[in-house]
Amino acid sequence: MGEHSATQEAEMRAGDGPPRRALARALWYVAPGRVDLWEESVAPVGPGEARVRTLFSGVSRGTERLVLAGRVPVSEHGRMRAPAQQGAFPFPVKYGYAAVGTVEDGPGDLAGRTVFALVPHADVFTAPTTMLVPVPGGIPPRRAVLAANMETALNAVWDGAVGPGDRVAVVGAGLVGCLVASLVARIAGTAVTLVDIVPERAAVAAALGCRFALPDDCPGDCDVVFHASASAPGLANAIAAAGVEAAIIEMSWYGEGTVAAPLGGAFHSQRLRLVGSQVGSVSPSRRPRWSYRRRLEKALDLLDDPCLDVLLDTEITFADLPRRLPAALAPGGGALGIVVRYD
């Protein structure tokens, strides 16, 4: 498992020196198309910290696909750092931000509790208690891995300013697109259509309380359109779906890629707006009152809906990640939501 393992095992066997550290395994992106599990020491628990045994973690399919391919632009290396990332882009890098586990050593108010943390994939980790958000009772730990994606979806809905009765299209039925559709469908009177090239996503849309359409049947004259397909055809479809003076909320992140934006035709005459949405900042409409912590806590609350379990359609055991994750992240891999189980 690499140089990290040999060095740290020696530290564990040392008869004197600093106190021995517990060992953990963590997922590292090590080369284009290749990941590995590296053994590493776990920092001892200090004041204001806790050690967590991971139960599940979620894979952010779009972002981690770009990390796996080494396609994070140099200009974005700083902004794309995950909160507890180690290493540096492109490789090797320890990346991820959706872990759920049980506090096995920490302050009394957290001991034994199930918590969510924006940390990479690892079976054990030590983190500041300020990074640990208790999972509300009634929400299964497996579903709680959706918290980071739900936070992104919530921010986008704020950016879109969707109101009761609006006609809304969500182009791209990936994990974030589906979560946006599920939130908008809860707003009174909205007519929400989830648009995707995969016909099988119709069952997912139905479970979320939305309509479904293939791109050729995408509705027009929408009040708000969300684009989350990360493709030029999807963006064109989203622009075509927008009504007069409507907003297209662009949620896709293309990494080092470029995309053709069809800004001819009726784009100007209809006075359309193309709005970038990204979770790194709280939406301007909420920023004076909402902290990052409050937004993440609300994202966890919004997961109290069993229909969202349909989104986690691919489960990989932690030990199997080096073998199965590259294929699951590959274009056409078929996975909607990838969840990692730690046994």
- What's the average pLDDT block by block, 10 residues per block, for the chain (343 residues)? 39 47 92 98 96 97 93 91 95 98 97 98 98 97 98 98 98 97 98 97 98 98 97 96 98 81 90 95 97 98 98 98 96 90 94
Where do the structural domains in the chain lie, given as residue ranges?
3-145+312-341, 149-276
For 31, the enclosing helix (H) or strand (E) is strand 22-31
Find, among 47, 27, 53, the residue nearest to 39 by Cα. 27
Residue 92, preceding peptide bond in cis (omega within 30° of 0): yes
Q: Taking CA 145 as the corner, what is the angle to CA 324 and CA 120, rounded to the nearest 5 degrees? A: 65
Dist. CA 220–CA 66, nearest whole Å: 32
What pLDDT does 280 receive?
A: 92
CATH 3.90.180.10 for domain 3-145+312-341 = yes
CA atoms within 13 A on the CB side of 188: 1
Residues 6+ apart with CB under 8 A from 189: 164, 165, 166
DSSP-H helix ranges across 171-320: 175-185, 201-207, 232-241, 292-301
Interhelix angle 61-69/321-329, rounded to 10 degrees, is: 100
Encoded tokens for 300: 């966890």
What pLDDT does 62 receive?
A: 86
Encoded tokens for 23: 């060992």
What pLDDT does 227 receive?
A: 98
What pLDDT does 7 receive?
A: 37
Query: Phi first, then psi: what are they for 4, rounded to 5°?
Result: -55, -45
3-state SS class at 224: strand
CA atoms within 13 A on the CB side of 334: 6
Q: Do residues 123 and 342 touch, judged by C-beta distance below 8 A? A: yes
Residues 6+ apart with CB under 8 A from 74: none
Q: Do residues 100 and 141 touch, judged by C-beta distance below 8 A? A: yes
3-state SS class at 86: strand
Find, among 35, 32, 75, 93, the residue nearest to 254 by Cα. 75
Dist. CA 118–CA 132, nearest whole Å: 8
Dist. CA 139–CA 284, nearest whole Å: 29
Same fold? 3-145+312-341, 149-276: no
- CATH classification code of 149-276: 3.40.50.720
